[in-house]
Amino acid sequence: MQIIFDLLGSIVKFNPTALVLLDKMLGPGRVASFEGLILAHPLDANVFVRSLLVTMHHCPLMPPCHVTSFVEERRLRILRDLLTAITPSEVCTENVCCVNTMFITWLTYPQPGGLPAILDGLREYTQYPAYRSLIGTLRQFVVFWKLHYARKCKDAHSLGFTSRIPIPEWHRLMDDLLHLTAADPMPPRLA
């Protein structure tokens, strides 16, 4: 399944026309099943999701389609599922792309409020004890990312090139996440 999602990701990346065609090919009858596969297999689908996110980010005037709407509406769930699908100690060369997809989710967030809004959304989406663990895991992934790409400058350059998001923006995100999560986890909001 991962190969199919990877191939689809390559086809639709920065190609709104291909995305609309995929949406038409799926049609209303199959789009729900396809979306279910994305949610049921976050590791397999991560490259496809990352391709959708960068395409949506860099091609804001593209025609609407079910698949992009689905990913935008489920952004927090996808992020949470990726944060819990692997542990920082399990990251290796074959699955470092999942870590990059997690951070693309943050870098391409279109709503006002940015990082704090995503943390608030995760807080509301996740029960408090699990949220504490999630923030700890997030911090570990940030530290992993910083160390990994400090040693692999060519890989970092490639990541910036293929996402069209300059590496200084990635580094700024990592610094901001470390800062924002240092005082977190905050207790749940009282209604």
pLDDT in tens, 41-70: 999 999 999 999 999 999 989 888 999 999
179 with 119: CB under 8 angstroms? Answer: no
* Structure letter (DSSP) for residue 74: T
Q: Indicate the SS3 state at residue 166.
A: coil
Tell me, yes or no, if the pTM score tops 0.85. Answer: yes
Long-range CB pairs of 163-166 (<8 Å, 24+ gap) are 163/50, 163/54, 163/100, 163/104, 163/107, 164/14, 164/54, 164/58, 165/54, 165/57, 165/104, 165/107, 165/108
Radius of gyration (C-alpha) of the chain in whole angstroms:
16
For a pLDDT cut of 90, what percent of the chain falls above it?
A: 64
Whole-number Å distance between alpha carbons of 83 and 169: 21
For residues 103-141, b (16+ Cβ closer than 10 Å) or e, as one string?
Answer: bbbbbbbeeeeebeebbebbbeebeeeebeebbebbbeb
pLDDT tens-digit readout, 91-134: 988 889 999 999 999 999 877 777 888 888 888 777 767 777 88
Q: Indicate if the pLDDT at residue 185 is higher than 70.
A: no
Find the helix packing angle between 167-182 and 128-151, rounded to 10°: 140
Amino acid identity at 151: R
pLDDT, tens digit, 9 for 90 and up, residues 65-92: 999 999 999 999 999 999 989 999 999 8
Give the Cβ contact number of residue 151 at 10 Å: 9
